[in-house]
Amino acid sequence: MSLVATLVSTPTAPAVDTDLVRRASDALGVSGTTTVLSPGLAADIRFSGQDTSSAAAELRSVVGQAPVDVFVQPESGRRKRLLIADMDSTMIRQECIDELAAELGLKDRISAITERAMRGEIEFEPALRERVALLKGLPVSAIDTVLSERIQLMPGGRTLVQTMKANGAYCALVSGGFTHFTKVVANMIGFDENQANTLLEDTGLLTGEVREPILGKEAKRARLEYLVADRGLSLEETLAVGDGANDLAMIERAGAGVAYRAKPAVAEAADFRIDHGDLTALLYLQGYAEHDFVLS
């Protein structure tokens, strides 16, 4: 089987230099079969004769403490035709519900519940109901304040989506967060669709309730499967990315499931993990070079 190993560095500290690529190639027993995807940031090494898990372990040993992510996969089928992505702490830097809680002085209390839910220590749905209940009475106008003053896009996200769309992929934002945020974030990044939970409101105030049924782990998986069937794809042509336990079902179901700076249980279950790179690492994973990127 023809395999490809991809080394991707954090953009702020380029570490995929000639020496690292040479040492990685030596570890895989190959020479002269490397492709620089971005100088200092990303490179492909093509090889055969090893299984992906042992090759990845060998390369991580070579990388050591350098800020470099390692991906190993069959070369065939790298390019994906469907991206399904989480929003909070994946496509944006923040957890939206925690930032809403800050408007009430409850961020520490609510973020502690969020962290446990994302780690899979408590079930997502009751944890969401508990947190939303604490937002009762918050003016709906506070959502616009949070959007304008607190929410930041994750680096590389717009380039990821625009590049995949330019190459024929469909991109879906599917969040356990809230539609007030996903519709804005999806528009900013360029997703084809977005789905999330709906906060209920009355006379300009949040009621402390969320519309049922809650979009959680199984709903994310179901949306992935629906889009695969609706667009006539195979699961092998899909890429799912997220960071929390409520992303596990779609990550495990997708052809390429990626844990992005994720909680330990998610990183352990995913096909690939990104601990250092930004979201453009998902393009290098698919074999895109920097000159292929769509910047807009």
Residues designated catalytic: 86, 88
Whether 110 contacts 138, CB under 8 Å: no
| Rounded-to-integer distance, Cα 124 and Cα 114, Å | 9
Beta strands in 16-127, from DSSP E residues, in sequence order: 34-38, 42-48, 68-74, 82-85
Local structure of 36: helix, strand or coil: strand
Residue 86 CB-half CA count within 13 A: 31
| Rounded-to-integer distance, Cα 117 and Cα 197, Å | 16
User: What's the one-letter identity of residue 13?
Assistant: A
Distances (CA, A) of 34 to 31, 46, 223: 8, 6, 37
Distances (CA, A) of 117 to 2, 39, 126: 39, 39, 9
Residue 278 phi/psi, 5° resolution? -90, -170
